[in-house]
């Protein structure tokens, strides 16, 4: 059989196409290359080989295989955690330390540069990818990145030092935090930075700076004990001076809290240019006899960005300035005077006076017989009248009027008891029954309103 000759140009084109397909960085092999079955080991290189199933990943099988190969290569890269790093020298060596290690490993896959795709291979079911990265190239690129990062962090640290010198507390804290955030990828390493002819371990310097700023802050309440009186309706103010390294500290947020009854009252104020803020104390619920004011400079207030910052886990347990001030409500004194009558005649036994006196004592309020010793004056007038009888029962009605005044004679509370009915088998017993019912009302609703009036 006679063979047909093939034109020379067509042969050349075929050979050239074969050469081009073999010179690319990513090859598609007709047969499985050695690296599919046996992982390469090349001195001076990190190697990454992985695969992805076509059935599972479909059109993404190739990209998935490449991503896995890069992650495989990155997993071989271990940053040695220095014994002098903040990861080791803070209290975060347990679970937090493990989290840092995992984060560093996973992040390195995203940050790799300078790697080479040495080949790809696929068969009917799977796709493979093979990468390598020169260790010297990786170290060079990483060192360049770290050096640039240290320069940025060093700028923040310098700004923090300047702010601290100027007494700008919140600004100093914020700059220290920004510096630590910048170095987050290197928290497990020794982070030295050269400046002004000296070496600064930058992350440690930032942590020490934050601790020293907090230690330099001092809360100085104007009172060591705060006594509130009835004359001021248990309202008052308390000033607090904040100093930093002995000087007034302006624009420092101070948080306060005190129990006023069912719910606590909180407030947050910032110091003025003289380093002072003044808190309003009051709105206590009836019956409260004592409380305590807590003042605190909180990290989240000094630096609101800290709530969303990874630095929070490094400094959340640092002690912050705290001061407490006991609050006492001075017991008011009441001058108590009653006029109790039966059918217009003075009663032999002051039933209502005794009821009021007992009720005041039970609520911690003193009553006195000397008007000059009183904070308030309570007068009460009561009288009974006969309202008729029928079928052997006698009915009596009692009316009373009480008024509570302050030392200036201004009414604080006025209350009436109208037509309190007493029914008994005799007139005398009916009068007594009317006073007994009035006594019950006084010890209940009347005294409750009286106590409420003291705190308004």
| Alpha helix stretches (DSSP H) within 114-168 | 135-165
Mean pLDDT across the chain, nearest whole number? 85
Q: Report the C-alpha gap between 351 and 340 in whole angstroms.
A: 8
Q: Considering the domain boundaries, does residue 1 fall inside one?
A: no
Q: Report the C-alpha gap between 213 and 243 in whole angstroms.
A: 11
Task: Identify the domain boundary among 194, 215, 236.
Answer: 215
Same structural domain, 323 and 273: yes
Condensed to tens digits (0 to 9), the pLDDT of residues 99-141 reads 444 444 444 566 788 899 999 999 999 999 999 999 999 889 8
Same structural domain, 181 and 245: no
Same structural domain, 369 and 390: yes
Q: Concatenate the DSSP letters of all residues of 320-348 into one string.
A: --EEEEEEEEPPPEEEEEEEEEETTEEPS
In this predicted structure, what is the pLDDT of residue 394? 95
Other CB atoms closer than 10 Å to residue 440's CB: what's the count?
A: 12
Same structural domain, 168 and 243: no
In this predicted structure, what is the pLDDT of residue 230? 76
Q: Report the C-alpha gap between 145 and 77 in whole angstroms.
A: 16
Burial class of residue 398 (count of CB atoms within 10 Å of its CB; 0-12, 13-18, 19+): buried
- What is the mean predicted confidence (pLDDT) over 192-203? 92
State how many domains the chain has: 4
Name the nearest CA neighbour of 281 among 252, 251, 257: 257
Tokens of 269: 């104020």
Contacts of 281 (CB under 8 A, 6+ apart): 226, 228, 235, 236, 237, 238, 258, 293, 327
Same structural domain, 341 and 413: yes
Can you tell me whether residue 289 is helix, strand or coil? coil
Condensed to tens digits (0 to 9), the pLDDT of residues 324-342 reads 999 998 878 889 889 999 9
The domain in which residue 428 lies consists of 333-454
In this predicted structure, what is the pLDDT of residue 109? 62
In this predicted structure, what is the pLDDT of residue 321? 96
**Position with higher pLDDT, 142 vs 103:** 142
Q: Report the C-alpha gap between 100 and 187 in whole angstroms.
A: 8
Q: Considering the domain boundaries, does residue 2 fall inside one?
A: no
Distances (CA, A) of 220 to 28, 119, 254: 76, 70, 11
DSSP assignment letter at 28:
B
In this predicted structure, what is the pLDDT of residue 174? 95
Give Cα 291 distance to the centre of its chain: 23
Task: Identify the domain boundary among 104, 122, 137.
Answer: 137
**Position with higher pLDDT, 448 vs 161:** 161
Tokens of 301: 């207030």
Q: Considering the domain boundaries, does residue 366 fall inside one?
A: yes
Contacts of 121 (CB under 8 A, 6+ apart): 27, 28, 29, 32, 33, 36, 127, 128, 130
Q: Report the C-alpha gap between 216 and 172 in whole angstroms.
A: 12
In this predicted structure, what is the pLDDT of residue 42? 93
**Position with higher pLDDT, 78 vs 192:** 192
- What is the mean predicted confidence (pLDDT) over 178-207? 91
Same structural domain, 121 and 46: yes
In the 3-class helix/strand/coil scheme, how is 358-408 assigned residue by residue?
HHHHHCCCEEECCHHHCCEEEEEEEEEEEEEEECCEEEEEEEEEEEEEECC
Condensed to tens digits (0 to 9), the pLDDT of residues 21-68 reads 333 344 455 689 999 989 999 999 999 999 999 999 999 999 999 999
pLDDT at 84 over 70: no
Tokens of 139: 């170290």
In this predicted structure, what is the pLDDT of residue 231? 74
The helix, strand and coil proportions of the chain, stated in percent and rounded to the nearest 5, come to: 40, 30, 30
Contacts of 74 (CB under 8 A, 6+ apart): 48, 105, 108, 109, 112
In this predicted structure, what is the pLDDT of residue 106? 43
Q: At what angle do helices 202-216 and 169-182 cross, to 10 degrees?
A: 160
Condensed to tens digits (0 to 9), the pLDDT of residues 221-280 reads 999 999 998 778 789 999 999 999 999 999 999 999 999 888 899 999 999 999 999 999
In this predicted structure, what is the pLDDT of residue 83? 55
Q: Report the C-alpha gap between 49 and 35 in whole angstroms.
A: 8
Q: Considering the domain boundaries, does residue 3 fall inside one?
A: no
In this predicted structure, what is the pLDDT of residue 82? 55
Q: Report the C-alpha gap between 140 and 111 in whole angstroms.
A: 13
Domain with residue 369: its CATH number is 3.30.160.180
Contacts of 401 (CB under 8 A, 6+ apart): 380, 381, 382, 414, 415, 416, 417
Task: Identify the domain boundary among 289, 313, 329.
Answer: 329
Q: Considering the domain boundaries, does residue 275 fall inside one?
A: yes
**Do residues 93 and 87 make contact, with C-beta atoms less than 8 angstroms apart?**
yes
pTM value surpassing 0.85: no
């Amino acid at each position: 059989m006679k063979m047909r000759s093939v034109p020379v140009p067509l042969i050349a084109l075929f050979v050239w196409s074969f050469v081009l397909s073999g010179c690319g960085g990513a090859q598609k092999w007709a047969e499985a290359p050695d690296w599919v079955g046996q992982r390469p080991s090349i001195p001076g290189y990190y190697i990454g080989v992985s695969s992805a199933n076509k059935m599972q990943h479909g059109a993404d099988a190739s990209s998935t295989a490449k991503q896995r190969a890069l992650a495989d290569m990155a997993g071989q890269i271990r940053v040695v955690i220095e014994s002098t790093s903040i990861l080791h020298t803070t209290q975060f060596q347990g679970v937090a330390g493990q989290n840092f290690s995992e984060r560093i490993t996973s992040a390195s896959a995203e940050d790799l540069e300078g790697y080479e795709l040495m080949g790809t291979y696929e068969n009917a079911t799977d796709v493979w990818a093979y990468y390598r990265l020169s260790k010297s190239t990786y170290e060079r690129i990483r060192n360049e990145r770290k050096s640039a990062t240290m320069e940025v962090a060093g700028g923040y640290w310098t700004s923090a030092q300047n702010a601290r010198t100027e007494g700008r507390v919140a600004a100093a804290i914020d700059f220290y935090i920004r510096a630590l955030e910048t170095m987050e990828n290197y928290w497990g390493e020794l982070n030295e930075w050269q400046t002004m002819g000296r070496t600064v371990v930058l992350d440690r310097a930032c942590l020490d700076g934050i601790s020293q700023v907090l230690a330099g802050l001092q809360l100085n309440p104007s009172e060591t004990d705060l006594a509130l009186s009835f004359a001021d309706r248990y309202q008052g103010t308390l000033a607090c001076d904040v100093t930093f390294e002995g000087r007034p500290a302006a624009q420092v947020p101070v948080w306060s809290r005190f129990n006023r009854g069912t719910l606590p009252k909180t407030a947050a104020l910032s110091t003025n240019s003289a380093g002072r803020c003044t808190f309003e104390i009051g709105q206590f619920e009836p019956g409260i006899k004592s409380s305590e004011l807590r003042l605190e400079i909180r990290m989240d207030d000094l630096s609101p960005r800290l709530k969303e910052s990874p630095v929070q886990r490094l400094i959340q347990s640092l002690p912050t300035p705290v001061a407490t001030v006991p609050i006492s409500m001075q017991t008011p004194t009441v001058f108590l005077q009653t006029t109790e009558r039966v059918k217009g005649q003075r009663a032999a036994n002051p039933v209502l006076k005794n009821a009021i006196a007992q009720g005041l004592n039970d609520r911690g309020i003193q009553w006195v017989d000397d008007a000059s010793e009183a904070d308030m004056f309570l007068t009460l007038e009561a009288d009974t009248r006969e309202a008729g009888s029928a079928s052997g029962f006698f009915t009596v009605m009692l009316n009373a009027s009480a008024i509570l005044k302050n030392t200036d004679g201004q009414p604080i509370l006025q209350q009436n008891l109208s037509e309190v009915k007493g029914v008994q088998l005799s007139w005398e017993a009916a009068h007594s029954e009317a006073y007994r019912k009035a006594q019950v009302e006084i010890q209940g609703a009347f005294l409750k309103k009286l106590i409420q009036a003291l705190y308004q």
